[in-house]
Each structure stands twice: as C-alpha cells, then as structure tokens.
Amino acid sequence: MKLVIKVTGKFFDDQGDKTPLSSAIRSLVQEGHRVALVTGGGTTARKYISLGRSLNLNEASLDLLGIWVARLNAFLMALSMPDLAYSRIPESLEQFLEYWGHGKVVVVGGFQPGQSTAAVSALVAEAISADYLVMVTTVEGVFDSDPKKNPNAKFLPRVTTTELKSILENTQSVKAGTYELLDPMAMKIVERSRIKVIVTSVDKIGKLTRIIKGEETASIVEPV
C-alpha cells in the first residue's frame, strides 16, 4: 500500500524519544508499504513565527518560517532513517514527486504559504494515489467538537467529509500556524480525489501497522 503519514509538529516539542516514529515507519516499509511522512512545525514554529511578527514580517513570510521549522523536523526524521529515507526535504510537490520516484521514504515539511501541513499531506496523498492518509494528531481521532476545548466531545469512529466540514466550520482560521485538523484546501483535495483519511493520536504511533489494518481504534473520514 501507499501511505501518507502526517505527524503533528507538537510531537517534536519535548525532548522525549522519537524512535517510535522511525520504528513504525521501518515496520511499514518492511511489510512492503511505501511511506511518505509529513511533519508539522509545533511550538518551535510558533516561536519563530512570533519572532517574525516582532520583526513585522508579512503573512507569507511568517508562513515560510513555520514551513522551515516543519522541514527541520522532517530533516531530523530523515536523518534517523539514513538507509530508508531520501536525504533531501522537498520544497515543492514537483520536487516531492521526483524524490518519491526513488522508491524511498520521503519526508516533507511544508511547501507553500497559505496552506496547513494537513493540506500538504492531502496534496502528497493525491499525487501518489495513496491508499490512506493517516493524520497522527494530539487527540484520539475525530470528535463532534474540539476535544481540547470541550471535555465532553464525543469520539466519532466514522465520519463523512460533509459531516466533518460542518463540525469544523467556524473553528478554522488561515492566520499562520492556526489551522486545525483539515483546512478547506485539504478538505477539497480529499473530496475531489476521494482520499481515505485515518485520524489517530501520537500515543498510538507504535501501533501504526495495526491501525492501517483496522485492528486498532481510530477515526476514519470518508470522502463524499
């Protein structure tokens, strides 16, 4: 199978061990899957965006700073799998496709201002006709409202893009670094190419191979 795994930048915030991610990818590759990994920027991105804001940078430049930090996280992961991963981090989808053609794991930070890492991962998934886009986030899956704000939010094992859109509506913003789950662009790509999306949490990185097989609880977003 062809898999795109998108990991929240918050995964890189603390000094905790990052080997579960490399190990999970290694297992997937050993099982015969092809894997693209997309990393977010996390707190370091927000720190640099804030430094940029105090330097009066425009929105495009702030986004670029966030993209560079996401690429730094991508580079860290690529270095941790020198035998499996392409050593360069692509700066555009065309570059991604060139690297992907090498048969290796390709690790991506971001491509361009104005889009979230979710959109990046959707673009990547569409371009390679991926079987699944796995979003590894800070919460267990999709809820009927933001679980970070509402402790009573209800976990949804299965949700259509239409349902998800109505849940996310009004909670999305395009200010740099503030997108959430699936921004409108990611949503449109997912819908037009009917990409199957799995949402799970960083705590379950060690169980990625099981999640892919549907042996572990996670939310599935179905494009309609």
Point out the annotated binding site for UMP: 41, 63, 111-117
Residue 145 interacting entry, from ligand ATP, a copy of itself, Co ion, none, C-beta within 5 to 8 Å by type: ligand ATP
Interaction between residue 30 and a copy of itself (CB under 8 A): no
Identify which of residues 64 and 208 has a Cβ nearer to a copy of itself in the complex. Answer: 64
Return the amino acid letter for 52. Answer: G
Residue 5: in which H helix or E strand, if any?
Answer: strand 2-7
Identify which of residues 112 and 160 has a Cβ nearer to a copy of itself in the complex. Answer: 112
- Positions in 10-69 near Co ion (CB under 5 A): 40
Identify which of residues 97 and 220 has a Cβ nearer to Co ion in the complex. Answer: 97
Contacts of 59 (CB under 8 A, 6+ apart): 113, 175, 176
Q: Which of 183, 44, 168, 166 is nearest to 113 (CA)?
A: 183
Decide: helix, strand or coil at residue 4: strand
Q: Which of 38, 36, 37, 34 is nearest to 1 (CA)?
A: 34
First to last CA, the chain: 22
> Rounded to the nearest 5 degrees, what angle is found at the Cα of 182, between the Cα atoms of 177 and 186?
100
Stretch that binds a copy of itself, among 2-10, 96-104, 131-139, 144-152 (CB under 8 A): 96-104
* Annotated binding residues: 6-10, 41-42, 46, 63, 111-117, 137, 143, 146
Interaction between residue 116 and a copy of itself (CB under 8 A): no
Interaction between residue 94 and a copy of itself (CB under 8 A): yes
User: What's the full length of the chain, in residues?
Assistant: 224
Instruction: At 34, list the tokens.
Output: 């092809």
Residue 3: in which H helix or E strand, if any?
Answer: strand 2-7
Binding interface with Co ion (CB under 5 A): 40
Binding positions for a copy of itself, rule: CB under 8 A: 12, 15, 17-19, 22, 44, 47-48, 50-52, 54-61, 64-65, 68-69, 72, 75-76, 79-80, 82, 86-88, 91-94, 97-98, 100-102, 104, 111-115, 119, 123, 126-127, 129, 174-175, 184-185, 188-189, 192-193
